[in-house]
Amino acid sequence: MTPTPLLVLDVVGLTPRLLDHMPRLESLGQSGSRAPLDTVLPAVTCAAQSTFLTGTMPSEHGIVGNGWYFRELGEVLLWRQHNGLVAGDKLWDAARRAHPGYTVANICWWYAMGADTDITITPRPVYYADGRKEADCYTRPPTLHDELTEKLGTFPLFHFWGPGADLVSSQWIIDATRHVLATRHPDLTLCYLPHLDYDLQRFGPDDPRSHRAATELDRALTPLLDDARAEGRTVVALSEYGITRADRPVDINRALRRAGLLDVHT
């Protein structure tokens, strides 16, 4: 029996309340099923995604943050990329045992380097000897890099995270996902849409600018959802965590400093 092809959308920051501003994504729940989804602790990208892909908790798969202290190096390293850091089977391992030949595309989900997926697209800057960093991405197969660059332009790394994060990065990823579906037809396609929660953090979840960002993302997703529907692909939309209002800050660094556990040089 041939498995139904899947498209799994990781829409970071998505909550049921935001769906009020995302009619196309909301329609997925109306035509299919909708269920509450709790996150993990810590509720951060790398830990949550690893739980999605292994079905285990951070205490088991080992991804306890977006970065952590490496004792053997004496350094905190953030945003590591190699899949070997994630312990345990991935969901495609189980799928391949049941369906030999099952194909997987990972489009910007984390820990993509070194994973045994068939198709990979992941942010990967070029670092030059003089210290410059140039936006780029890594792909497998390597020929996919030039296909995407010619069609979509260079991967917009500086719109992917940080102060410049915006719809530009998610639009590139959506378009890349459409290209992969049209040219490779994987059984499982993972698509990571990273930018929405940046406006939620900047402005708060109830701000009209955050609602507008949700609507813009929903509009950008429409062609991809149309493609998936035409292909008979089941779509799963999920989120790593939601952003809620906060009225009482906890200044962790100040508490550590008062306890004598943090030295600060201004």
Give the pLDDT confidence score for residue 29 in this predicted structure: 79
Give the pLDDT confidence score for residue 31 in this predicted structure: 75
Give the pLDDT confidence score for residue 72 in this predicted structure: 95
Instruction: Tell me the pTM.
Output: 0.93
Distance from C-alpha of 113 to C-alpha of 140, rounded to nearest angstrom: 10
Give the pLDDT confidence score for residue 21 in this predicted structure: 97
In 16-167, the DSSP E strands lie at 67-70, 75-78, 104-107, 119-123, 126-127, 133-134, 137-140
Main-chain phi, psi angles of 31, to 5 degrees: -90, -15
State yes or no: cis peptide before 42, omega within 30 of 0: yes
Give the pLDDT confidence score for residue 124 in this predicted structure: 94
Give the pLDDT confidence score for residue 118 in this predicted structure: 98
Distance from C-alpha of 37 to C-alpha of 51, rounded to nearest angstrom: 12
Give the pLDDT confidence score for residue 247 in this predicted structure: 87
Which residues, including other chains, have CB under 8 Å from residue 96's CB and lie 6 or more apart? 102
Give the pLDDT confidence score for residue 159 in this predicted structure: 95
Q: Can you give the residue ranges of every domain in the chain? A: 6-32+90-258
Give the pLDDT confidence score for residue 49 in this predicted structure: 97
Mean pLDDT, consecutive 10-residue segments, the chain of 266 residues? 91 94 91 81 95 96 94 93 95 95 97 97 94 93 97 96 91 98 98 94 95 98 97 95 90 94 87
Give the pLDDT confidence score for residue 83 in this predicted structure: 96
Give the pLDDT confidence score for residue 163 in this predicted structure: 84
Give the pLDDT confidence score for residue 180 in this predicted structure: 98
Helix (H) or strand (E) holding 144: helix 143-152
